[in-house]
Amino acid sequence: MDKIERMKELNELLSKASDAYYNTGKEIMSDHEYDALYDELDRLEKETGVILNGSRTQVVGYEVASSLKKVKHTSKMLSLDKTKSVSELTEWLGEHEGFLSWKLDGLTLVLTFDNGELTQAVTRGNGETGEDITQNARHINGIPKKIPFGGHMVVRGESLMKYKDFERVNDMIEDGSKYKNPRNLCVGTVRNLDSKVTAERNINFFAFNLVSADGYEENSFAERIKWLASLGFQTVYGVKTKSETLAEEIKKFEASIADNEFPSDGLVLMLDDVAYGLSLGETSHAPRNGMAFKWKDETADTVLREIEWSASRTGLLNPVAIFDSVELEGTTVSRASVHNVSIVKQLKLGIGDTLSIFKANMIIPQVLENKTGSGNAPIPEICPVCGGKTEIKTSDDDVETLFCMNKQCPAKHIGKFEHFVQRDALNIVGLSTATIETFVSEGFVRKFSDFYHFDDHKAKIVTMEGFGERSYAKMQEAVEASRHTELSHVLYAVGIPNIGRAASRLICASYPTAEQIEKLTVDELTAIDGIGEVLANDYVNFFADEENLAEYHELLKELDISEAEPISADSAIAGKTFVITGSVNIWKNRNELKAYIESLGGKVSGSVSSKTDYLINNDSTSNSTKNKTAKSLNVPIITEEEFQELVK
């Protein structure tokens, strides 16, 4: 194949991948594969001097193909040039100051505010035309409902999903069309025609650039980000830097990747002098005032030993590659999700194959390529959990997934039992996922109340691998201890969709008896500060289900429930928002400190923003992301002792 033909083929592959990702939220190739093909196309264009019509190197974003309203951007949105070389990035910065921040991995939005109100939110689209998602944007965390600025303002930022929210939502998807990563799920959510979906999925927005604001003349990029934070926006974390400090700052970002709640695929370096940066203009596809820095993926070769088909509560059987352990990004890795049957076939997986493994965004282990491609891995015809028949289902996007067709498959209930025993729920210490899976498979556990009748199965349990009289006695001790609990723990334990620990405490503080909480109406629930209509509807629907109600009543018979502690409305910290990080000394753990704050009417958030009143960290000199963000926003960092004084 000559170079021109190869360029045509590359453009076709890249266009197909881009369309699938942006218009369906699905991936037909990994970021690593896409970047490799893009770089090959770019290299061939430079070698031949030919750029084909419609080349992907000249196209930004995607062609809009949904039923959302189309909006033309007032200024074209281009992609930054990228590099994986620290020295190249340093050379580019030269003698200038820069603002180095996370390159967030989500969906870029452009927000317009007029007279303090959000008037429009538009996706990036193809850089010239995007989609109007204003209604959905009103349900995204980090976008203020009203700002103290009366003029016309345009802000750009990234909409993202936390890793924990991605796992929660993906686990609830039952039609086989699970998402491969948080970015894809965020894209599908923000562009969904039902704004209720956006509200339920907990999307976050981080502003990363002030495009314009009437009468605002600050010229420092870093100061403009701080100003956006002062207006109530959640903003990207970043630092000012010069060439001589750039390499060290990059190392600090890299060291904190593991602590990130949000996906990031690198860094962005912008010239801090905004006017100078804009004066440099742009190329046909990239502005000259910034550069993207992408991490060099560390890879390792290993041997595939097994494909484990992991069952979910929906009946979906997810393939997981089990391979010889390798060291990647400072951790030992021995397994990676392969996501679905289509990818198993695409990778031509077979036992004994040599795989190349890497960590996507330096976090999530993935199979980069199969170097031998034997393709001999069988797709199981029976469920590994219940022995029932399996079936391959094909989605509208031609993605094949494997399902267990047995409605009574015990695996479909494992997830709710895992939740039931955790610390913030009934706190049955020592019951691991493996033990729960075994007990479910043996038929010992089919409903919540069964956890309190293991004595019916003692004779068999003590003979099982990993058990004996001593292990059994220890387990029973934990079970008996869990009988004595608070109502809010019970409410959280039964697994009502979207009702977390904090919401459970709020509800039980207002309605402190087991009889009351099962009969609450949507109006009664939404009257509680902190409970919205979406949560209220999920709550009422849960107790309207006769099976759920019966299981709840059976569980109550096994428990000794103490009265809920009232939430204080007149304490010194009532209404204040706290973030807790690092180790704690006075309280047993951070969850205990969180519960104490909530009992006094305070709130606890997972990330620092302009709405945070205090960051509790016993190490105020730490270089953690949360400490840096707190300092940039002038949020006080206090120790546990200082918190105690504050409460007094």
Would you name the residues annotated as active-site residues? 103
What gap in Å lies between CA 523 and CA 374, rounded to an integer?
A: 60
What gap in Å lies between CA 601 and CA 589, rounded to an integer?
A: 19
Asked if 290 and 271 touch (Cβ cutoff 8 Å), the reply is yes
Other C-beta atoms lying within 10 Å of the C-beta of residue 106 = 25
What gap in Å lies between CA 401 and CA 95, rounded to an integer?
A: 54
- If you write DSSP's letter for every residue of 40-81 in order, what string do you get? HHHHHHHHH----TT-GGG--S----SSSPEEE-SS---PPP
Asked if 175 and 395 touch (Cβ cutoff 8 Å), the reply is yes
The phi-psi region of residue 525 (left if phi > 0; otherwise alpha if psi is between -120 and 50; otherwise beta) is alpha
- Token pair listed for 384: 């590994």
What gap in Å lies between CA 496 and CA 406, rounded to an integer?
A: 24
> Which residue shows structure tokens 């105690």?
644
CA dihedral 127, 128, 132, 138 (to 10 degrees): 50
DSSP one-letter code for 575: T
Asked if 332 and 283 touch (Cβ cutoff 8 Å), the reply is no
What gap in Å lies between CA 512 and CA 563, rounded to an integer?
A: 7
Q: In terms of Cα–Cα distance, which of 484, 476, 487, 548 is closest to 516?
A: 487
DSSP one-letter code for 315: S
| Total residue length of the chain | 648
Which residues make beta-bridge pairs with 455? none
What gap in Å lies between CA 467 and CA 434, rounded to an integer?
A: 12
What gap in Å lies between CA 366 and CA 355, rounded to an integer?
A: 10
CA dihedral 145, 147, 153, 157 (to 10 degrees): -60
Which amino acid makes up residue 168? R
Strand 400-404 relative to strand 316-328: parallel, antiparallel, unpaired?
antiparallel
DSSP one-letter code for 565: P
| Integer-rounded Cα radius of gyration of the chain | 27
Which amino acid makes up residue 374? S
What gap in Å lies between CA 187 and CA 494, rounded to an integer?
A: 31
Residue 281: burial class (beta carbons within 10 Å; 0-12, 13-18, 19+):
exposed
> Which residue shows structure tokens 């993906």?
170
Q: Where are the beta strands (DSSP E) in 272-363?
A: 290-293, 299-311, 316-328, 331-337, 354-360
- Token pair listed for 175: 């039609």
DSSP one-letter code for 258: G
- If you write DSSP's letter for every residue of 176-229 in order, what string do you get? S---SSHHHHHHHHHT-S-HHHHHHTT-EEEEEEEEEETT----BHHHHHHHHH
- If you write DSSP's letter for every residue of 482-524 in order, what string do you get? HTEEEHHHHHHHTT-TT--HHHHHHHHHHS-SHHHHTS--HHH
Q: Where are the beta strands (DSSP E) in 242-284?
A: 264-271
Task: Find the distance separating the first CA and the last CA of the chain, reported in whole Å.
Answer: 77
